[in-house]
Structure 1
């Protein structure tokens, strides 16, 4: 069996089970400010701690939803096992993204992945769908949930 055949069978067998959980990542004001600068999103709820504390129900600044979502790549590095014969992985997009809970500045978040589906796109490519939950340390509800598609390319 080829590496792609072995990987395909392994993912098929793991559908509905947890792939992995990432390390915690702290979202501090410096990260929030840099993200806002790069994306040109300078809304005060993200970059003005005084106004955010006095004019919002959050008690301070919160991370951009897209900042939290962009950490999916970091979370995947921590969570997905190395696959023999795979030469590259690519972001293929999302089927669903829901932002459920704002992430306050200073909070720690992590990603939890569950295998949902795998499709063989070619003799060299597998398209995997994973359920991603981004948890906030100590919070009852997650920051976000998403169905993330990734393309694994094999040699």
Structure 2
């Protein structure tokens, strides 16, 4: 059940923000390659917050951290993915700039939290194994939409 004071909006964040009211909280998640100009989107979010409001982004950084994951990633199409993102004018790796862009957009008290989220088949411990299964489920839900958009839009 959604409380009566909660409203969900689905729109293109790169379009002009024309909302009639300011927001207490703006949340973005898993927007890995959605924006051509992330700083512009972050500035629009900042301009649309009430004083003291919060803007939160949660995103994955897909850089492999081990030789095993680098080998698997390379074997599974990295050159095609990099070509597609370049053709679309988007950058899968831009998340390393989020904190700086938040500050440049005008946000203050910016906090960046980084977590290791296993995406492989060998995590240790119950919590890491559960996180891996959640990651796998999220990835499997989104991979078709992401890759179809990516490859149809620039590779025919």
Q: TM-score range by the shorter chain?
A: under 0.3
- Give the structure, 1 or 2, with the largest relative contact order (CA under 8 Å, sep 6 or more): 1
Structure 2 length as normaliser, TM-score?
Answer: 0.24
Q: Which has the higher helix share?
A: 2
Q: Which has the higher strand share?
A: 1
Structure 1 length as normaliser, TM-score?
Answer: 0.24
